[in-house]
């Protein structure tokens, strides 16, 4: 009985010791592998960076990255044009003539002339804070929608569409030419135009007959709704309209590739 009693605990200890001898190195190897993978993926950066406090710096950095890609694209496009300039036959010449004909309406030639300048900006910060404070004491159905203090992509699009409807021959946002494939979307506290982030205020300019442009802006329902918030003393979202004698719209020179959603299979 004594021998039997002694072997049980000794065998148990031997099994546990063997498990530790095998398991401990395996865990160490696994941890080392995870650290190596993390170091590779981070490429020397923090995988969980803190919040960006410098919005202007963030926008400037992203815009610089985009500018680098765009410069490379333009260099390659110029090289393609140079290499293709010596190719000539009836079909190629016909296609080139068609391209030249469409360059202006497509936005690939600069435009100058009289027009409008409209500036959109977020409402004053102090009014936003006051509204948020009042909302705490009001029932949900009586609260002021705080989104009305911020310029959204649909506000910019509404102004641009009203200008097109008024016969604008060219439109720019933040000095960038707008064409039929230009995408405008919100990304956090900034608006992206063709992939480049821009902070408010948003300056929209149009080349065209001032009377027709003004009439279109004044009668557009969505723009009128925005302007009512601009006139609201509790909101005062930014709205400014000028009628300069000379508006300059540069030719569009950004990337032309279309991006679109693909259905899931």
pLDDT at 53 over 80: no
Q: Is the predicted pLDDT of residue 42 greater than 50, yes or no?
A: no
Look at 14 and 133; give whichever has higher pLDDT: 133
Band (pLDDT 50/70/90 cuts) for residue 4 is: very low
pLDDT score at 66: 61
Confidence at 184, pLDDT banded by 50, 70, 90:
confident
CATH class of 110-249: alpha beta
Strand spans (E) along 7-129: 111-113, 115-121
pLDDT surpassing 50 at residue 256: yes
pLDDT of residue 214: 98
Average pLDDT, the chain: 78
Give the pLDDT score at 82: 67
| Residue extents of the structural domains in the chain | 1-36, 110-249
Task: Give which of 176, 181, 206 is closest to 191, Cα–Cα.
Answer: 176
Predicted TM-score (pTM) above 0.95? no
Q: Return phi, psi of residue 76, to 5°.
A: -65, -40
Two tokens, residue 107: 């936005």
**pLDDT score at 31:** 62
The rounded percent of the chain whose pLDDT value lies above 70 is 58
Contact between residue 159 and residue 25 where contact means Cβ atoms under 8 Å apart: no
């Amino acid at each position: 009985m004594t021998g039997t009693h002694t072997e049980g605990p000794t065998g148990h200890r031997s099994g546990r010791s063997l498990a530790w001898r095998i398991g401990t190195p395996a865990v160490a190897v696994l941890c080392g592998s995870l650290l190596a993978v993390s170091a590779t993926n981070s490429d020397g950066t923090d995988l969980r960076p803190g919040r960006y406090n410098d919005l202007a710096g963030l926008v400037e950095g992203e815009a610089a990255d985009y500018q680098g890609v765009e410069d490379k694209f333009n260099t390659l496009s110029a090289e393609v044009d140079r290499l293709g300039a010596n190719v000539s036959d009836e079909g190629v010449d016909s296609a080139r003539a068609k391209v030249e004909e469409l360059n202006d309406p497509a936005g690939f030639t600069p435009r100058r002339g009289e027009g409008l300048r409209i500036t959109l900006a977020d409402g004053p910060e102090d009014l936003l804070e006051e509204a948020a404070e009042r909302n705490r004491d009001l029932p949900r159905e009586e609260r002021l929608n705080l989104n009305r203090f911020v310029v959204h992509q649909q506000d910019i699009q509404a102004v641009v569409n009203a200008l097109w409807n008024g016969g604008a021959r060219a439109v720019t946002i933040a000095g960038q030419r707008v064409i039929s494939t230009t995408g405008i979307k919100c990304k956090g506290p900034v608006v992206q135009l063709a992939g480049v982030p821009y902070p408010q205020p948003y300056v929209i300019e149009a080349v065209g007959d001032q009377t027709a442009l003004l009439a279109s802006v004044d009668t557009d329902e969505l723009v009128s709704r925005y302007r009512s918030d601009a006139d609201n003393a509790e909101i005062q979202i930014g709205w400014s309209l000028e009628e300069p004698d000379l508006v300059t719209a540069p030719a569009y020179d950004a990337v032309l590739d279309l991006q679109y959603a693909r259905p899931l299979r």
